[in-house]
């Protein structure tokens, strides 16, 4: 149990402790990160998250239809490393801003620190993405990929890896909720609301704008 951990341990978590305990004792880790303003690997984690998201988008957008494998990987890795972190920073700033409406205590930097460590489970998906790229190459990024070489084994492997990625992503989301609750001094439900508000703040106006332009287009 997290409450049974000695207070001295809370004050002296090592890097290894943080990366291991984030899986089993997230509240302890987030309290330590927030209290100590611990941000040792924030930049690295956000860069890796940016790369992972860029590779995921490359698959969804079928970039392999227009680029060779080295081109897809180059664009995704370089673009993700240089700019992928920016979306996380903007989201952290919006959470801090909308959290102020709810009397939250966290600023952008404290939320960004929590966010980066909450992403650790999702980043494990990178480990599974590497063998997928090695096995399937450019086909992984194409819309008209040819049947894979190992038949039904490939189907089972893809389903298995995707299931693991979904589980890891879900755990990251849960960790983020717990982290926001710690930083903002919110309940779990208020933390979820704080995470949803920025999406509504941006998404609703965009929806209205798109709908407006569609309505004014001539038939």
Instruction: Please report how the helices 125-136 and 152-184 are oriented relative to each other, as an axis angle in degrees rounded to 10.
Output: 150
- pTM, 2 dp: 0.81
**What number of H helices and E strands is found in the chain?**
11, 0
Is the model's pLDDT at 159 over the cut of 80? no
- pLDDT for res 8: 44
DSSP notation for 29-93 = HHHHHHHHT--TTHHHHHHHHHHHHHHHHHHHTTGGGTS-HHHHHHHHHHHIIIIIHHHHHHHHH
pLDDT band at 218 (very low <50, low <70, confident <90, very high): low
Is the model's pLDDT at 148 over the cut of 60? no
Instruction: Please report how the helices 85-101 and 152-184 are oriented relative to each other, as an axis angle in degrees rounded to 10.
Output: 40
- pLDDT for res 7: 45
pLDDT band at 3 (very low <50, low <70, confident <90, very high): very low
More reliable by pLDDT, 219 or 75: 75
Domain ranges of the chain: 2-216
pLDDT band at 11 (very low <50, low <70, confident <90, very high): low
Averaged over 155-182, what is the pLDDT?
88
pLDDT band at 91 (very low <50, low <70, confident <90, very high): very high
Contact (Cβ atoms closer than 8 angstroms) between residue 112 and residue 47:
no
């Amino acid at each position: 149990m997290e409450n049974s951990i000695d207070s001295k341990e809370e004050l002296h978590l090592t890097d290894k402790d943080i990366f291991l305990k984030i899986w089993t004792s997230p509240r302890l880790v987030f309290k330590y990160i927030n209290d100590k303003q611990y941000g040792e690997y924030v930049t690295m984690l956000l860069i890796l998250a940016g790369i992972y998201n860029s590779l995921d988008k490359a698959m969804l957008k079928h970039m392999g239809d227009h680029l060779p494998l080295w081109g897809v990987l180059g664009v995704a890795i370089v673009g993700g490393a240089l700019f992928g972190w920016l979306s996380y920073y903007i989201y952290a700033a919006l959470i801090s801003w909308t959290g102020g409406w709810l009397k939250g205590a966290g600023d952008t930097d404290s939320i960004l620190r929590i966010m980066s460590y909450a992403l650790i489970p999702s980043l494990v998906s990178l480990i599974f993405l590497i063998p997928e790229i090695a096995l399937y190459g450019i086909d992984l990024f194409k819309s008209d990929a040819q049947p894979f070489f190992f038949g039904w084994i490939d189907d089972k492997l893809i389903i298995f890896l995707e299931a693991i990625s979904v589980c890891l992503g879900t755990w990251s989301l849960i960790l983020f909720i717990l982290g926001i609750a710690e930083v903002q001094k919110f309940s779990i439900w208020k933390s979820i609301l704080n995470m949803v508000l920025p999406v509504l703040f941006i998404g609703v106006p965009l929806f209205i704008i798109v709908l407006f332009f569609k309505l004014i287009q001539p038939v």
